[in-house]
Chains A and B, each alone.
Chain A
Amino acid sequence: MNAHDEERMKKLLRQALPPVKGEPERDLWPAVLNRLDAAPAALPWFDWALLAGLVALVACFPASIPMLLYYL
């Protein structure tokens, strides 16, 4: 596709999808507060990674279980 084709495609895209502008029809602050109240306390991804690592360690080296229990 050369520069001329590219410009033609841009023009066609602007014809098909004119720019949009707008403002929210209502104050969204109450919805944000509801969302914050409803949000469950999610575990960070690194906690899941640590758990997966521990499970893998126990599966591969069962002898490590007493050592892990000792440090818990």
Chain B
Amino acid sequence: MGNESSEVLNQFRQGPPESFEAAFETLFHMHQRAVYGWILRIVRDPAAAEELTVETFWRIHRAHARFQPAMGFEGWARRIATHAALDWLRSARRKNELTLEAFEELAAPAEADPAVSAEIRLKTAQAFERLPAKLRVAAILAVVEEQPQKDVAAALGISVAAVKLRVFRALRLLRKDLREQGITP
């Protein structure tokens, strides 16, 4: 996400209405791609990522008085985006299990291991979707997207140790689920 002048951030936080709206629009255009990209990594659904980007900036607009310019807009926006994505993952809108067709539409891994069949990858993806949302988000950001753990911790509003614990619990539950299906990872 880009750097913004402290003037824009101050106008966003406590400027008069016209300056605030102009600052909000400036910040939106500077950050919409990065916010969308961050949300897409979590929800893995382009349409939902667009919807949640709009939701995130709506929440940002509503909460502007609580923004601390010293924190930087990027981290604050990421945290709000992460919570919007978590709410979406927890909601009924994501109840349908991943189908083979939808799975095949996803990009294949760059270095696909021939020992791991498409069926095992599909079952792993389906088992992953059954995990609690907060474990999924930590695992997807830290393991799949390989984001620095301190960034994941900041986005979730938890400590680095808590991120490690959530990732460990996600992997352990995933292994248990796969074993129950007769798959030994």
Q: Which residues of A contact B (CB under 8 A)?
A: 1, 5-6, 8-29, 31-32, 35-36, 39
- Assess whether A15 is in contact with B116, with CB atoms less than 8 Å apart: yes
Minimum distance in angstroms from A17 CB to a CB of chain B: 5
- Assess whether A15 is in contact with B171, with CB atoms less than 8 Å apart: no
Contacts of A14 in B (CB 8 A): 109, 143-144
CA distance A32 to B46 in the complex (A): 17
B146 at the A interface (CB under 8 A): yes
Contacts of B116 in A (CB 8 A): 12, 15
B166 at the A interface (CB under 8 A): no
What is the chain B residue whose CB lies nearest that of A26? B50
Minimum-distance CB pairs A-B, first 5: A16-B124, A18-B109, A9-B171, A16-B121, A16-B125
- Assess whether A22 is in contact with B37, with CB atoms less than 8 Å apart: yes
- Assess whether B36 is in contact with A13, with CB atoms less than 8 Å apart: no
CA distance A9 to B128 in the complex (A): 11
Report 8 cross-chain contacts, Cβ distance below 8 Å, ordered by A residue: A1-B171, A9-B171, A9-B175, A13-B124, A16-B128, A17-B140, A24-B36, A26-B50
- Assess whether A32 is in contact with B54, with CB atoms less than 8 Å apart: yes
- Say yes or no: A35-B54 contact (C-beta < 8 A), given A13-B174, A15-B121, A17-B144: yes
- Assess whether B33 is in contact with A24, with CB atoms less than 8 Å apart: yes
CA distance A35 to B52 in the complex (A): 11
CA distance A25 to B168 in the complex (A): 35
Minimum distance in angstroms from A25 CB to a CB of chain B: 7
Minimum distance in angstroms from B145 CB to a CB of chain A: 5
In chain B, residues 96-110, which have Cβ atoms closer than 8 Å to a Cβ of chain A?
106-110
CA distance A65 to B36 in the complex (A): 52
What is the chain B residue whose CB lies nearest that of A9? B171
- Say yes or no: A28-B50 contact (C-beta < 8 A), given A13-B144, A15-B124, A17-B140: yes
Minimum distance in angstroms from B66 CB to a CB of chain A: 12
- Say yes or no: A25-B54 contact (C-beta < 8 A), given A13-B143, A18-B108, A19-B41: no
CA distance A15 to B174 in the complex (A): 14
